């Protein structure tokens, strides 16, 4: 199992090269994107982030001070905007109450940071881990629908495998390095979008063919 997990990474790096994820200029922007991308495409998230940038609102303090209903309208293109606005407000409040600043909040150890993110209403494991890995630079592996699909098709997991079980495949068999986890997850996303598609996968030309 360990060898197959490592072999997947080697093949994907050889095929695609480095991915340089996550899209975003600052830890705050990355955190914001991780919440906004729930149930929507990154194109819609990019549209929201660019609008906030142009309006001078792309900062923790600016969005923290923005009234809930105004924030909801600003992020409308991301979908589920009222729900996401409440989640963001809850996240901002938790960060302010816990640490006073985003920088201090992200300076906590991996386990503590992840648990505090999961305690925020509407922040599930995938979003919490995306923030922990990509915004805070902590070594945790992000599991998403793409990861599940690829591993299932290669008989590395059972159909009923849960988030933590899938995550442990990577955490238990790879060096605990944020950059490695960052690249590996990004490569899996690339593979799923280009080859291991939900419908009509391109198995014969897939870089993992014959694994």
182 shares its domain with 88: no
| Residue 151 included in any domain | yes
| Residue 33 included in any domain | yes
Cα 176 from Cα 136, distance rounded (Å): 15
Say what percent of the chain tops pLDDT 90: 95
**Domain with 170 in it: what CATH number?**
1.10.1670.10
Mean per-residue pLDDT of the chain: 96
Q: Which domain holds residue 193?
A: 2-20+141-205
131 shares its domain with 161: no
* Residue 128 pLDDT grade (very low, low, confident, very high; cuts 50, 70, 90): very high
What per-residue confidence (pLDDT) applies to 21? 84
What per-residue confidence (pLDDT) applies to 25? 84
Which sign does the torsion angle of CA 20, 22, 28, 29 carry? positive
pLDDT digit string, tens, across residues 1-49: 569 999 999 999 999 999 988 877 899 999 999 999 999 999 999 999 9
Please state the rounded mean pLDDT for residues 109-117. 98
Among residues 146, 162, 154, 186, the alpha carbon closest in space to that of 22 is found at 186
DSSP codes of every residue in 147-209: HHHHHHHTTSS-TT--HHHHHHHHHTTS---HHHHHHHHHHHHHHHHHTS-SSS--GGG-TTT
| Residue 210 included in any domain | no
What per-residue confidence (pLDDT) applies to 124? 98
* Residue 129 pLDDT grade (very low, low, confident, very high; cuts 50, 70, 90): very high
What per-residue confidence (pLDDT) applies to 24? 77
| Residue 211 included in any domain | no
128 shares its domain with 192: no
Q: Is the pLDDT of residue 131 over 70?
A: yes
41 shares its domain with 106: yes
What per-residue confidence (pLDDT) applies to 94? 98
| Residue 194 included in any domain | yes
55 shares its domain with 130: yes
**Domain with 50 in it: what CATH number?**
1.10.340.30
Q: Treating both helix axes as pointing N-terminal to C-terminal, what angle do 27-36 and 81-98 enclose, rounded to 10 degrees?
A: 140
157 shares its domain with 130: no
User: Which domain-ending residue is among 115, 135, 155?
Assistant: 135
pLDDT digit string, tens, across residues 67-85: 999 999 999 999 999 999 9
Please state the rounded mean pLDDT for residues 183-207. 98
Global pTM reads: 0.95
| Residue 9 included in any domain | yes
């Amino acid at each position: 199992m360990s060898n197959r997990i490592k072999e997947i990474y080697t093949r994907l790096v050889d095929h695609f090269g480095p991915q340089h994820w996550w899209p975003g200029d600052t830890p705050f922007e990355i955190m914001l994107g991780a919440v906004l991308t729930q149930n929507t495409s990154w194109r819609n998230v990019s549209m929201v982030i660019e609008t906030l940038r142009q309006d001078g609102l792309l900062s923790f303090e600016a969005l923290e001070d923005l009234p809930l209903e105004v924030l909801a309208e600003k992020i409308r293109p991301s979908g589920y905007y009222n729900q996401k606005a409440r989640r963001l407000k809850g996240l901002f409040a938790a960060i302010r109450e816990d640490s006073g600043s985003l920088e201090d909040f992200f300076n906590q150890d991996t386990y503590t940071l992840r648990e505090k993110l999961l305690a925020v209403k509407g922040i599930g494991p995938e979003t919490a881990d995306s923030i922990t890995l990509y915004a805070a630079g902590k070594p945790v592996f992000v599991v998403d629908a793409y990861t599940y699909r690829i591993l299932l098709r290669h008989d590395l997991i059972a159909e009923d495998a849960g988030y933590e079980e899938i995550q442990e495949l990577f955490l238990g068999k790879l060096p605990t390095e944020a950059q490695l986890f960052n690249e590996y997850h990004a490569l899996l996303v690339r593979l799923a979008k280009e080859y291991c598609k939900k419908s009509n996968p391109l198995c014969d030309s897939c870089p993992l063919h014959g694994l």
